[in-house]
Structure 1
Amino acid sequence: MISNVRGSFQQVSGEVVYDPRHPEKARVSARIDVASITTNEEKRDAHLRSADFFDVETYPTITFVSKAFKPTGDGGELTGTLTIHGVEREVTLEVEELTSEGKDPWGNQRVGATAKTKILRSEFGMTFNAALETGGIMIGDEIAIQIEVELVKQA
């Protein structure tokens, strides 16, 4: 609640099935190694890995599996099941930008996308907080998620 903290996960894998001729049939699955979290502050990262937050010993992964994609202009709405801390919730990612397919310098076909959503960490069982001397609480409940992906077409 004092300032925004930005972090990222360094180990992410997944699969996207996408045909630009039939975008409504897109399917996405993703798996995140929670222990790979980094906020560029090792003590904070260790605390995030602890039972107070992600509890990586018990819940080592975050997963997302899509259920539907609704194209809207240059992007769309990707709805699916997000599992964090052993709790499943349906979320909708707003795909803000889906770039045109193009060739990279090595001959691979690529397309990029940006997606965003917001979740409440308390809905995923993460409720740790601390009171501030001046009143209020240290950690907000709302988490903004931004995803930047670059997809490489497979043969």
Structure 2
Amino acid sequence: MKKHIIAMGLMAAASVSGIAQAADYAIDTKGAHASINFKVEHLGYSFIKGRFNTFDGTFSYDPQNLSASKVQVNVDTTSLDSNHAERDKHLRSADFIDAGKYSTATFTSTKVEPKGNGEMTIFGELSLHGQTKPIAIDAKFIGEGEDPWGGYRAGFTGTTRIDFKDFGIQVMGSSSYADIELHVEGIRQ
């Protein structure tokens, strides 16, 4: 009987600790539960908003050891969409991001720094327009749990600013940067 109680206790402890262990997630782009959005100043008068429609990625998340978390994202730059076909053609051209030559942008995290209350800074390398530079993403954990389809999900949001000159992208007027807004929901694998 004593062995049975000890075994049950160990199984319970293992299952509770399993909830808090690191897990790998695939970003849910098929269900459109993730987005990469941008906002760019237009001639100093207003802003243009857009997004990248095609991307994929993974992340590893451990709520008990947040600094061990990792992120990898691949973006199809030809999927840039600002809801204006002629402008998108120009933005994808060699005048700006040159999506014909540099059709993929990648982000690979190098470090995750916890800030408390579900907030963190994700440091990493962004490869864009043939250049690789370090960037930092201010991120926040939104939540995690079981979904209605028998899976388990975790979600985050994040922001960063990309300076065009850092990546050799032409500046037009006062538009020298893009503010990036990320919404990431992953399905545990």
TM over 0.5: same fold?
A: yes
Partner secondary structure for residue 5 of structure 1: strand
- 1:68 alignment partner, one of 93, 100, 111: 111
User: Which stretches in structure 2 are left out of the alignment for 5+ residues?
Assistant: 1-43
Which protein is bigger by CA-based radius of gyration? 2
Partner secondary structure for residue 101 of structure 2: coil
Alignment check: 8 A CA contact 1:115 1:148 kept: yes
CA distance in 2, matches of 1:44, 1:152: 34
Percent of matched pairs sharing the same residue? 34
Mapping for residues 41-80 of structure 1, pairs under 5 Å: 41-73=84-116, 74-80=118-124
- 2:180 aligned partner: 145
- 1:85 aligned partner: 129
CA distance in 2, matches of 1:151, 1:24: 18
The 4+ residue runs of structure 1 with deviation greater than 6 A are none
> So what's the TM-score if we normalise by structure 2?
0.74
Q: Between Structure 1 and Structure 2, how many residues are aligned?
A: 145
Superposition deviation, residue 85 in structure 1: 0.2
Superposition deviation, residue 100 in structure 1: 2.7
CA displacement, residues 21-41 of structure 1 (integer Å, 9 cap, x when unaligned)? 211100111000000010000
CA distance in 2, matches of 1:108, 1:71: 26
- 1:37 aligned partner: 80
CA displacement, residues 31-63 of structure 1 (integer Å, 9 cap, x when unaligned)? 000000100000010001100011112111111
**1 or 2 for the larger relative contact order (CA 8 Å, sep ≥6)?**
2
Aligned residues: CA RMSD = 1.1
Alignment check: 8 A CA contact 1:27 1:69 kept: yes
> So what's the TM-score if we normalise by structure 1?
0.90
CA distance in 1, matches of 2:152, 2:63: 13
Mapping for residues 2-13 of structure 1, pairs under 5 Å: 2-13=45-56
Larger proportion of helix: 2
Mapping for residues 114-125 of structure 1, pairs under 5 Å: 114-125=157-168
User: Which stretches in structure 1 are left out of the alignment for 5+ residues?
Assistant: 130-136
CA distance in 2, matches of 1:69, 1:101: 18
Bigger mean CA offset, 139-148 vs 38-47? 139-148
- Is structure 2 residue 96 aligned with structure 1 residue 25? no
Alignment check: 8 A CA contact 2:106 2:126 kept: yes
